[in-house]
Amino acid sequence: MKKERSLASRLMQYGALALIVHLASGCSDQAPPPPPPTNAAISAEGAAPATPAADRKLVVAFGDSLYAGYNLDQGQGLAPVLEATLATRGVKAQVVNAGVSGDTTAAGRARLAFTLDGLPRTPDLMLVGLGGNDMLRGLSPQDTRANLDAILAEAKARGIKVMLTGMLASPNMGADYAAAFNSIYPDLARQYDAALYPFMLDGVLGDRALLLPDGIHPNAQGVKRIAGRLAPMVAEALAP
């Protein structure tokens, strides 16, 4: 019970801080989704994605600012850090950064085909981390579910394995909203037989030493923490 209250407290803090950052950034529920990124924007280090070596797996990290390396130096975002972490486990993989800060599930859905078509080949695994901005904007959980469903359906149609990194609704969104939102990720993971990391910020949210000054996004050490937790699941998903 104490652990549950602690998580709820951190989520409440997350919701309040996220709202502040959201408003300060000038985002609007009415703002159109960003245009699809160019190939340069979907690579791990900002250059056009290179063809991975024959003995390396290809992983695409498709998400929002938590994937994109928001306010971090080159090489400190999730994609390069996860790639390095996998290497320490003996897993040879190229992890391509397809994260776009501010993306909603609708924006991700709109750019998915463009992103996948821009890769050198069909990826062995796609990490999907979207939905946090939907929650932040108070968008309909039904729409969030439909958009994520469409993203996973497209991946399945292309023969791409998927791993979901979930998000939880802040308690200040209300119990009904949280119930509808929080069930999206486990439901879709079961439906598509996808691996699920239930909460992207688990072990990071609430620890100021692992967060940027905004109190929401992970700093370089926070990204290392996340990558360390994701790596075993990614390695398992990539196993023959």
| Catalytic residue ranges | 65, 214, 217
The strands making up 195-197's β-sheet, listed across from edge to edge, are 93-99, 57-63, 125-129, 161-165, 195-197
Q: Token digits for 163?
A: 């791993």
| C-alpha span between 32 and 224 (Å, rounded) | 32
Contact call for residues 33 and 110 (beta carbons, < 8 A): yes
List of E strands, 17-72: 57-63
User: How far from chain centre, in Å, is Cα 101?
Assistant: 10
Polymer length of the chain = 240
